[in-house]
Structure 1
Amino acid sequence: MGNVLTFRANFPIMESPPKKKMNKGEASTSGTDVSAEVIDDSKAFVERFTVLFNSSYFSDIKLRVGDQMYYGHKFMLASASKVFGAMFGESPAWEESRQEEITLVEEEACQAVFYDFLRYFYSASIDMTTDKALPLMFLADKYNVQSLRNACVDYMMKHIEELPDKNKTLTWYHYSKMTGPERLRESCKNFIVSNFSVVLDAPDWPEMESEELADFIAMSELCVESEVKLWEKVEQWIMSENNQEFRRENVELILPLLRFSKMTPTELLSLESSELVEQFSDILKPKLAAAYRLHSLASNGICLPTEQVPYRNYTASVYGLRFPFELKSYASIPKIESRICLPCQVPYLPCLDPDTCKTSHVAHFQVNFYPKGHFSTISLYGNFMGRQNDHVTLKVVRHNARVVDTANPGGAVIKDYPTMLVEVTLQLYSKKKALRYVGLTVTKQHLFTSRNPDMLVENVLDLTKLSAEDSPFIVEGSLSGAVFIKVQAVGDHLLEMPVDAATQQR
């Protein structure tokens, strides 16, 4: 090597200008130009790129999708998509980098929205609908366009609550289970469980996956009109063309999860003539026989612990489980007048026939709901508020009423209510356009005994979510909802179980 000369430049150190001595009360303007302002030309900037969308002007790549061909610009596509960046790079692994036209193989639903997808690269905007959201999310995942994926998720989160003809919650739930995100999956699941009647009428109901349907049918939290209505929809799903090939497998997986004992004897009789029962009598006839037997025993006051079947959140009046309420003028009503009191008479034997269900099979509960915070009152020259807090509270008390034991051979005697495992569900309603739906569901189980007759649920939800001006639970100034009281199991055998096992029993 030759000689290397190193030059070092010695730049003079610039002295800072002398600081101006500030007088008391004088504002400093050092380093600040009071005339400075930001000129925002972002709108025009986006418009300059938008005109390049699907334009041959400076286009260096053509994309063929189905029967359509689009002009593209590699730098625009690669700037937003890592997949396109790798595809158009210099790696020899990608043949597309050396081609002037490439073919992208997409599903039919994705082909229909590819125009919108590609335009997003140039305009950073998109006209979204419930039909477009999932195919666009497919493409965003496939080509790793994270900003569009996030936009699709945000849109879905805001449109879970839609009327059946536009509702896509089942499909979104299925996809989010496979790819996430968790917040979308949980929100879809909560809506489906609490508003199952809405999704039963949605267009994607017949396309629901069998494993997912089985998961939902197994839940006691499911909110439906009645078990026979659920049977009708499940029958429709099984008999649809989509599920024809695996009909027996679906019957074996799903129908045993239906709760036939929660149908009336008349409803059970009508099922015997259904096509499904005739085709799969080996599976269904034993289920119907067991339901008839349970009704027969219950009509005589007999309830065997091994044959107790838990209730769902049935809204039909024949079950006697749902107790609706409405508090008008929520914002203006004083706290001391805001308590909602619901006296509840609940069947504790699985008897749905009003002619045979005797009053001795009914337990008496008192529900107190405090939607403006809990308080207690004392009576001294009128009502005065005692202790109070801002916890939205639900309190359920089983009264100390006694029942007549007519089975005693020595004559009628008085005895306490039996031990009961009770599931209490509070629902608050919301409304979006024409759809009235369950916006909040809170469920709690409690083992009621003669020594433990009270259940208390504090902090049902944050009080600020109810009192906010834009609260989703205040519709036209009123707070409305319902409480479900479900006696899921009866008997002293519950006392012998561990506390956790008893309260988790379904």
Structure 2
Amino acid sequence: MASPPNFQLPVLPALEAPTVHVADAERSFRVTFTASAPPMALSPTSISMALKSPEGIDCHGNERQVLGEQAKFFNNPLLSDVILVVGGERFYAHKLILVRSSDVFERMFSSEWSDSQTKEVELVEDSLCNSVFPRFLKFLYGCHIKLNIDSTLPVLILADKYNVEDLRNVCINFACSYIIPKLQLKDVFHVWFQYATKCYHVRLIAECVQVLAEKMDDITSSVEWQREWVNLEKEQLIQFLQNSDLNIKDEFDLWLAAVKWLQSTGHPQRAANFEDNLKEIMQFIRFPMMTSEQLCQVESHTVFQQHPELFQKAFMLAYKYHALPLVKRANVKEFMSSSFLLRNYSNLRWDKRFVVSQYSACPKGAEVSFRFSTRASSFPPQTWEWELKVHPKGYSTNSDDFRVVLNSNVILDQPRPIEYHLSVVDRNQILHSVCGKKNFSKARYQTDTEMDKKVSVADLCQTDSPLLVNDNLILQIALKPVE
């Protein structure tokens, strides 16, 4: 009999990991009302009517107990109507269970695929998948599985192959929580990132990129990572370029890394489609985040010289961004897109990105502080020290105002006239901005940014708030001397 296509399975390194029991909390008998009125509107009269109605009231037993009893039929010859042969091992199975769990099994046991009366079916799996097939099959019976670092990917491959969505989600959640954060970066890149992009598992891709983003400087510029970088598929490269969490020296370095990928030898197809690749990749390079000097360096590069028309629109917008004072930028709608989002740049700049993690866990009245440095306007060059104080859920236990305060963190010998531009952002755009000017001095060393006029605690605390990214509040600020 034909079998679904095989997946290529990379080898994972050994590492201890906890086991996971996948099952709902214990449930007792429960009743669900099916009256037409919303649940909150049910009255004794509605209940009485539902009791007398022909349809009646939905009543549920203990589902977990049912699953536990069903699990007893795993590899049990009792009432078995099919035998699965995997890697030479035979498993008693029940078509009803297989078909209920997987549309692939449904097609396999349909008349279109094969003789539905066939008693024994051989499944051809990867050798490492063979060893975890009993776990996979048992999950179909009892919705329960034990996972570790060695078994998770093979089980995920089986879940993908047979399209068992529930098990797929279990494996991905387990990998993101327990495996990927503990692996060496090379293993994350070669094993999990490659498989995630091949099967387009969005959450798994995001988790891999998040881990790799912490060492983006090494990945884009070190000899150790050169082969991996230039051999990325275009879609994999874009996964990195569109991410704001990259720890990178500056945007110009990321541009040079993208050019290295574009011009790499040994990829004839890439060279043949150079212009199309350049056009697509340029969308994810944040030219406004480069300095004016760096923009000039890009203009002198051979890639720019050969395709100037592709850069024209992006560069006009970048130069416009640099030409305007900070207090004017907040009112320009063109400056709201992802091209104007900061990454985690390590070079000393006029701006900085901050993340308030796990917003929902922040207590009322708490303060989250970020100390950072910017360039100064003095000569010889020196740094200016700052502190951004964020009150995510109110300035005090009695206050419901979202507040962000900017402090000058050094004793000033002379007044420091500054303009600021503070924004709340998500993955794709700037959501809200405030700007202003302040003359910092010994007596006036802080300013309230008045972000509470644009963002409220109620906005942030609402379910699935659009102001948060995975329960994180992301801020970015730009500071410059007043000219």
Q: Report the TM-score, using the length of structure 2 for normalisation.
A: 0.49
Q: Report the TM-score, using the length of structure 1 for normalisation.
A: 0.47
Tell which structure's C-alpha radius of gyration is larger.
1
